[in-house]
Amino acid sequence: MTSTPQTHPTAIRTLKALMALLLAIAAAIQIWLLPAISAGFAADAPEFAYLRIPYLIVCELLMVGFDAALIAIWRLLSLVASSSVFSHTAFRWVGLIIGCIGFDTVLVIGLLAHNLIASLGPPILVIALIILTVVGIALTLLMVVMRGLLAAATAQHEELEAVI
């Protein structure tokens, strides 16, 4: 396969290397850091120790959503590298990214609601969860718009191929 100058093979390889690094870091966070942090919080605040496992599960699910989105981005980069991003296969990966961001946003909203109802943690935690909620909603909407752009570009690409 010869890559055209528009596919930017060096940028794609660099992005894939960075995503592999992010996946490795995410795995370390899931395996070691999150359990250690949750154990530390349970020891420091025994009155909230009963929340250790539920919050750990939610944090692990957030990381799974992040991992799945990275894998979908990897697949989209592979489609770009093979000059086949304007195909219906790309829609599956963009849809997965939208789903992952939406899933993680719903989990953050759940954490925010529980934090507000149960009056847990300092006010900075509520502020951080509100910011994460806004960012999640914005990213989800951005990806929906990007999916629309992909649909328009794919339709134009198919029209051009039919003409040629």
Question: Highest-confidence range of 44-53, 66-75, 80-89, 147-156, by mean pLDDT?
Answer: 66-75
- The pLDDT value recorded for residue 6 is 65
DSSP class of residue 48? G
Q: Which two tokens stand for residue 44?
A: 């420091």
pLDDT digits (tens, 9 = 90+) for 29-54: 999 999 999 999 899 888 888 999 99
Angle at 139 between CA 138 and CA 142, to 5 degrees: 85
- The pLDDT value recorded for residue 48 is 85
Kindly tell me if the per-residue pLDDT of 65 is higher than 60: yes
Distance in angstroms (rounded) separating the CA atoms of residues 71 and 139: 17
- Per-residue pLDDT, averaged over 127-147, amounts to 95
Helix (H, G, I), strand (E, B) or coil at 47: helix
